[in-house]
Chains A and B, each alone.
Chain A
């Protein structure tokens, strides 16, 4: 299967050269379509001290269909939905924008970039986005508080 071959290749690449601040695990060794990534908060950001668990699900026809990204660790961020799914909205992952040459490594790098620089105009959580825009100090307090509460366990 082309998809498996490609995923194996990406997995190999990513393990030999892990992207900054990320460690990859397979929760189930025989299932290479579900990855668990532990991402360190980008330094200099409010999330710097946190370790965030991210679930990456690769569809059967990957790389033709985009992977799914969801935060398992709660995070106070305008671009991550504050629910069980923890969905992150990335333009790159939209079905019509996804390009097969994109790799998981690139996706993770983008996730980290968005963590460092939230995009309030493209937000999932509009409340957080408003706060980010209008009251940055309160936003940072809340974000640090959540990191303290949820993202220190790992």
Chain B
């Protein structure tokens, strides 16, 4: 934006009297007209209004001062009598560049003010000192107008300083080309091209350099910032999307019974009120026949309509010895509520009897006792620790932390098993203690992080139901290598094909793996407590990072 060089050329304007179209001018042959070029000896005093890369171009003129102003007389010796004034230029609003001597601050201000009224694109000042040296830098005191630099912002055009000789030359040249065409040098030759009424005027072009095309530091910073924001934003969106997919996948696998969140310590589950409401309520000792056949264990979890089986022993349930639960509670086996230790009352003539809630495992409690426990503390029966949730139950919110813990476990399992993904069933029952084969980073120390702790509790889910089922069928049909793999593991290694049994299988397997190791009371709460705030922020923006 600081001026680099300056060029002056001559333009011809047709006589306004006999021209029909306005805004017309011609470049005059340089050989026959005034040209001037100067580079270097130009100082930029004010860059206001000059934009980077764009030249300052306009017709040269000297602003008119008020004749009453003493500056009018003061500057007279330095401004030729017939220097081009605004009135000498065509009426059309061409861009203008003013030129004037710099005498005293008040005169300069008077010029600047006068130039404001016209379409001035720039102002050229020169010191009337006949010096051809480069004018002093802009911050020198002699360019001070005593107003603290306000003049720079008050005038919406850039201001440049020329050395005295250049200034004189230019202002005199304007005087030379101020009249009509007959008074200029080479008038004869020019008249062959132009008419007598045409006028020649000087146009100046101040080159503000190409270096200014670079954006300023602030613009640059803003651009960088914007790019960064865009990158961060799109990464964040992408990661949110990936994480969302993983959550959905995990939910799907939980629903399919491949993952047991509670047994793996991924999430401590509780029972929502809607499910509690589905568990049968009845008066102690009444509606439940004492000798009711036991519904097999798998049936418990899957039953979404427990009332259907509580009504009467349905004939379609055929308990076979193999599928029969070992525990056969009957209503009267449990005389007290194990939570409040109060006795249940059977209905009698005077009393209505105690209403009890029966869990899928057939244990009974006061509803007010067990409901709070299941809703707020645990999904497991207080007595036998069997889950009260239906098979494939998945909590409403699958969190990113759950996804991460599950992934860590799965990854560890794959790393340790090598081919376990190919034969996920072979190692199941054969080596329930295979967690001892897991390489432990610090065998002598307790695991320091949740991740490590979880890593120890390796377990695996059985193959997806379709794969498991079909592989079993395949094995039965033809003697594939797979068959030897499955049979090698022992009788108990095949994950059952149907969802509920697979779920039970997963649970038992997880319990076998975990042994009696203490599971965290609530993995989520524990993790939230140990995660520093900045990490939480980071994982809000970039879900999925920070998985150790």
Whole-angstrom distance between the Cβ of A46 and the nearest chain B Cβ: 28
Interface residues of A in 12-61 (CB under 8 A from B): 13, 61
| CB of B372 within 8 Å of the partner chain | yes
Q: Are B518 and A9 in contact, CB atoms less than 8 angstroms apart?
A: no
Q: Are B518 and A101 in contact, CB atoms less than 8 angstroms apart?
A: no
Interface residues of B in 22-37 (CB under 8 A from A): none
Q: Are A94 and B518 in contact, CB atoms less than 8 angstroms apart?
A: yes
| CB of A63 within 8 Å of the partner chain | yes
Interface residues of B in 312-357 (CB under 8 A from A): 338-342
Interface residues of A in 43-95 (CB under 8 A from B): 61, 63-65, 91, 94-95
Q: Are A100 and B518 in contact, CB atoms less than 8 angstroms apart?
A: no
| CB of B377 within 8 Å of the partner chain | yes
Interface residues of B in 494-531 (CB under 8 A from A): 516, 518-519, 521
Q: Are B377 and A64 in contact, CB atoms less than 8 angstroms apart?
A: yes
| CB of B69 within 8 Å of the partner chain | no
Per the bound structure, the CA–CA distance linking A101 and B338 in Å amounts to 5
Q: Are B383 and A61 in contact, CB atoms less than 8 angstroms apart?
A: no
Residue of A nearest to B339 (CB): A100
Whole-angstrom distance between the Cβ of A141 and the nearest chain B Cβ: 30
Q: Are B373 and A64 in contact, CB atoms less than 8 angstroms apart?
A: yes
Per the bound structure, the CA–CA distance linking A95 and B519 in Å amounts to 8
Q: Are A101 and B339 in contact, CB atoms less than 8 angstroms apart?
A: yes
Q: Are A96 and B382 in contact, CB atoms less than 8 angstroms apart?
A: no
Binary contact track B355-399/A, C-beta < 8 Å → 1, others 0: 000000000000011001100111000110100000000000000
Most buried by B among A61, A94, A95, A101: A101
CB neighbours (8 Å) of B383 from chain A are 99, 101
Interface residues of A in 83-126 (CB under 8 A from B): 91, 94-97, 99-101, 103
Residue of A nearest to B517 (CB): A96
| CB of A10 within 8 Å of the partner chain | yes
Per the bound structure, the CA–CA distance linking A100 and B374 in Å amounts to 11
Q: Are A9 and B368 in contact, CB atoms less than 8 angstroms apart?
A: no
Q: Are B385 and A91 in contact, CB atoms less than 8 angstroms apart?
A: no
Q: Are A10 and B341 in contact, CB atoms less than 8 angstroms apart?
A: yes
Q: Are B340 and A9 in contact, CB atoms less than 8 angstroms apart?
A: yes
Q: Are B521 and A96 in contact, CB atoms less than 8 angstroms apart?
A: yes
Q: Are A95 and B518 in contact, CB atoms less than 8 angstroms apart?
A: yes
Residue of A nearest to B373 (CB): A64
Whole-angstrom distance between the Cβ of B520 and the nearest chain A Cβ: 8
Per the bound structure, the CA–CA distance linking A28 and B528 in Å amounts to 36
CB neighbours (8 Å) of B339 from chain A are 2, 6, 63, 100-101
CB neighbours (8 Å) of B369 from chain A are 2
Whole-angstrom distance between the Cβ of A16 and the nearest chain B Cβ: 13
CB neighbours (8 Å) of A64 from chain B are 372-373, 376-378
Residue of B nearest to A61 (CB): B377
Per the bound structure, the CA–CA distance linking A103 and B337 in Å amounts to 12
CB neighbours (8 Å) of B385 from chain A are 99
Most buried by B among A5, A10, A13: A5
Most buried by B among A61, A65, A100, A103: A100
Per the bound structure, the CA–CA distance linking A13 and B519 in Å amounts to 32
CB neighbours (8 Å) of A97 from chain B are 516, 518
CB neighbours (8 Å) of A63 from chain B are 339
CB neighbours (8 Å) of B342 from chain A are 5, 9
- Residue pairs across A and B with Cβ atoms less than 8 A apart, 27 shown, are A2-B339, A2-B340, A2-B369, A2-B372, A5-B340, A5-B342, A6-B339, A6-B340, A9-B341, A13-B341, A61-B376, A63-B339, A64-B373, A64-B376, A65-B377, A94-B518, A95-B518, A95-B521, A96-B518, A96-B519, A96-B521, A97-B516, A99-B383, A100-B373, A100-B382, A101-B339, A101-B382
> Which B residues contact A (CB, under 8 angstroms)?
338-342, 368-369, 372-373, 376-378, 382-383, 385, 516, 518-519, 521
> Which A residues contact B (CB, under 8 angstroms)?
2, 5-6, 9-10, 13, 61, 63-65, 91, 94-97, 99-101, 103
